[in-house]
Amino acid sequence: MTDSGGGVAPSDPPWLGGEHCFERGCDAVNAVSCTYVDRRQRPCPTSWCPAHQSIVDGLPYCRRHAGVLRAVGTAPDRLRSLPDLENRAPSLVNWVARDVDADVRALLQHYSSPGATVTDSPIQAAGHAANRIWSRHWKVLSHTGFDVRIALSVAENQDTLLLGYVEGTLVHTVEPPWIASRRRGEAFSEDQDRAAREAFRNDLIAALEGHLAFRYPDVPRRT
């Protein structure tokens, strides 16, 4: 479907086309192209069938670029400066932030003063072009002001590394196991993948809490 200006118009899913699906092991030939176009005006070269396409605002995307759009948002000013095709920075930091959100909030609540409120910010970018860093922040708001701040960041020029900060201090740097395994060409079973992700999450929260416990030694650690 095209709009009056010649572009792709939103539609209700699924989208149907006449291309081969890029999903490994899928034989479908009714796939449609991912509609992602990066800041250099390069379109995503992949195609996805109804079973494997991801829909954002009525348009079909591959999983990676759907994650980017969900992280960045679809405001016109953000769509004009989308990350390069191969870059995973905003989608990675957004996915991890959503996964650990409850843990981070509980952590901040534990180390804050009674009655304090934990707030968060949407994903934000700092820097220019390929040097941008995408971050999600949480902070504690109390009657004395902002007491504690935690941030997760991924840089576009190192988009496989997640960085964890507490009050501006880098306390954790890690390549998520699902990225590391793909880079090594390893295939995890569902149980192995689940265990690796749980260890990744636990290590991240432990690193954040370790710094908070050091900064606030009078507060007993959580059990």
The pLDDT value given to residue 6: 38
What are the boundaries of each domain within the chain? Answer: 1-84, 89-215
Categorize the per-residue pLDDT at 4 as very low, low, confident or very high, splitting at 50, 70 and 90: very low
Which amino acid, residue 12? D
Q: What is the pTM of this model?
A: 0.79
Residue 77 has pLDDT above 80, yes or no: no
Given a cut of 80, is residue 172 above it in pLDDT? yes
Give per-residue pLDDT as tens, 111-141. Answer: 887 778 899 988 888 887 667 899 999 999 8
Beta strands (DSSP E) in 1-128 are 32-33, 47-48, 54-56, 59-61, 117-126
